[in-house]
Structure 1
Amino acid sequence: MTAPLHEAHPASPGRALPDTQQGMRRRNLARVMHTVSAEGPLSRAAVASRIGLTRAAVSTLVDELIRTGLLQELGPERPGRVGRPGSALAVSDRGPAGIGAEVGVDHLAVCAVDLRGQVRARAVRHGANRGRSPEPVVAELAGLVARVVAEAEGEGLWPAGLAVAVPGLVAPDGRTVVRAPNLDWRDTDLGALLPADFPLVVDNEANFGGLAELWLGEGTPRDFLHVSAEIGIGAAVVVDGRLLRGTRGFAGELGHVPVHPGGPPCGCGGHGCLEQYAGEEAVLRAAGVEPGEDRVDLLAERAAAGDEAVRRALRGAGEALGIALTGAVNLLDPEAVVLGGALAGLAPWLLPALREELDGRTAGRACPVSVSRLGPEGPLLGAAHSVVRAVLDDPARVAERA
């Protein structure tokens, strides 16, 4: 089992802290930040009660976090409480922000998220990236990042880091795209192409989507398989609240699991992979729909209107997803499967066939399948929130950089 992304990547700000007096202080600062972030507004006394430190110790930590702009006082707690009211603390809506970016096959997107988890700035560029060399694509992404950072700075925020989601395999260095078949990129060092004055982490879009589901989903268990289905299909395996990455960090390539080994060739070099049956472009071909913007919305409209060709294509995609997921569910025994990405919008027509295949092929018990409320926003939000989580994990490091 490996650590979550914001701890696992060496390029990420969040790291294990040394077991020293200084390390203990940094851990306690993080405990205060996480507690106020999760449960605030809270008084100093309430924070002390929750984390098991004295009020004096918590007050010292809080004063430091206020000085560095990570916490702010909102004024006296609500009336009606017994005793002298304390000043309510909240995570600041100014100061450090997480910048998330996504390189998609047909779009680029960037957003800024503050420490309260609110999206404060966003920029999107629609257009095909497949077949283009990385340099011009990353240059356009850098322009969007600059625009979002400028807008965020206008609201009193500054970038604590940049996390980029990509549809491909990422090396353990957290910056090199080893292979992105749907972009036709190989061994692309985004750290060299995307210079920034703040920390950079690159990861697979499915991993960021899974982390977003873990952090932002409603009622999401700590053991689940998150399927990110768009033009490509990836998966994030979350075990006890942590990403399972594999030896090289390449775990979760669900889209290249063979569904029909004698099927059509895939960009990965194999044949009959799941993406050839349930990927967005495969579904469009089977439904007789031309690729273009809002194509998933068009499929949903036609399916809802009773278009049998579209419904048949979606049933076929659901069957293929169910077959591919069977092996993962039987091997890993997750508590749930969560369907995210663009195809989450087609769940009413995908899920019946998917569940039928999965229920008929899995051993022991049925595995619940749900739909992410984040949809295609998951990878972008997960990227931005991974930076925010790194700030909460080690606020002292961020204060030193500010």
Structure 2
Amino acid sequence: MPLDRPIPAFYCCYLLRSTIRPSAVYVGSTPHPVRRLRQHNGEAKGGAVRTNRPSLRPWEMSCIVTGFPSHIAALQFEWAWQNPHITLHIPPESRIQHANQKKRSGQPKRPRHSVASLLSNLHLLLRVPSFSRWPLEVRFFSENVYKAWSKWCKTAAEPIRDSINIIQDFPTSDTASDDVLDNPSTEEAKLAHFITALAVDYSKERPHVEKGKNIVDFEREGACSICHNDLEHDAGFYTICPNLGCESVAHLTCLSQHFLKDEEDELVPVKGQCPTCKAEIIWVNVVRELSLRLRGQKEVEKLLKGKRVRKGKAVTASQAADIDDEEDEDDDDELVDEIELLRESDFAETDTVTGDTWHEIDTSDDSDSESIISNKSKAKQATSCTGIQALGLKTVIENTDSEAEI
């Protein structure tokens, strides 16, 4: 099975906080935050042992980081967020937290985390060269946690890049406590979960995908809008402007250089101006459509198909959603075979039923190997090595032997 896959429609790292004991925090990653939260709260099968404690439920998903160019990229960020005391992505002189103790093995022991420490390290990770140019977005579902973030931003040594979006996605409250680490009320926890509105599929890409398919299928690539050389059909990496009224097509390298003309020291663009329609284009949007066109035949077919029919009968919208969810789980299971080629890295323990990963942040050195998952998923790990090559990003997998619980 090939490792190449399109840039994922959605994959996030998330910060979980207990609504009963806010000092209990947890970081994980998932392509399906709603389903994952239901698992953590015992409403669906699966989940992590430590989030299974009745004394900590319900959990709230306080914030998520999205926009990763691949599943591996998300796992890289997740591990660095969990292990800021040893991750190679943070220079030693820039570390906020340090390992003051050692395990029995002699390896550095992970410091105990809190909401404040995780947010401060998140801010730091968004500024380091490894991640600062990624098309990331931080979305807050908890007003209290967002206030803690804002407080840290005012004291941080440097601001994060303007290209990283910070989104408030919670019901505001005039009576919210000024102490951002106060216990969140049960009602607040219920209201804060606006995650159900997140688009975790490729539906937003459909107009761009349809246009690109039409151009390529009818061999209307024409000439590169930058170097003006003819674009031979099916003979290279060609980018297509996402604006529906523009049919600008260009070599991937030409568009990259066009976007980076004022940033000579950078390798990967963030955004730029279309050479034809002059509209601002986000680089990852262009490359995501390219990755779907080259690597995502299955995803494109699913995206563009019409009314769902099952066993000769029409299917309602809600039934179709359930079927799609089942298919998504099947797609995640396909990653199991691929991870066998990456086992040497051993940087994540993964639930192959959902494609999720989990790691305890604020407790002891105990392993999370007793996670509540199927026997099948206990024996395997899953992730995908996609999107990084298309974006021109370097894959750096850190050795996590120093953290037994990872």
Higher helix share: 1
What TM-score range do you get, normalising by the shorter chain? Answer: under 0.3
Please give the TM-score of this superposition, normalised by the length of structure 2: 0.25
Structure with higher RCO (Cα < 8 A, 6+ apart): 2
Task: Specify which structure has the higher proportion of strand.
Answer: 1
* TM-score, with structure 1 as normaliser: 0.26
